[in-house]
Amino acid sequence: MTTTLSPVAKGDRLPESSVSITRTDLVRYAGASGDFNPIHHSDSFAREVGLPEVIAHGMLTMALATKLVTDWSGDPGRIIEHGVRFTRPVEVPDDGHGATVELSGKVADVGEDGTAKINITAKCADQGVLGGAYALVRL
């Protein structure tokens, strides 16, 4: 049984998070997800299909954004629904440092039904990488 979160109000901000994604992380994610598309590990293939370099898996980026909310809520089971639009790929350079994704969230609404809608912002290199990212959380 989960406990309720402390009072949550519209406009509240979630603690910000910064996550680095390296090429090694992409290899690990590919193994876990089964997504071995070469755009996630081959610079030459990525360039061949019009990308500047290897990009992170969209679902990895989405998972990192969702983790921001689960870290705040304390329980992944509190998420009733979530969604995102992929607006820009996260380019991951092969430099040992990779890419940094900056995550933030804000309570957009608190419902009378005991839920809160959280709007999530995900940026890499000061550009949004997810659009319309949100999670509906049971308080």
Domain ranges in the chain? 12-21+56-138
Q: What are the pLDDT digits (tens) for 41-54?
A: 999 999 999 999 99
> Taking the domain 12-21+56-138, which CATH number applies?
3.10.129.10
Mean pLDDT of the region 66-93:
97
Prediction pTM value: 0.92
Q: What is the pLDDT of residue 3?
A: 60
H or E segment at 40?
none
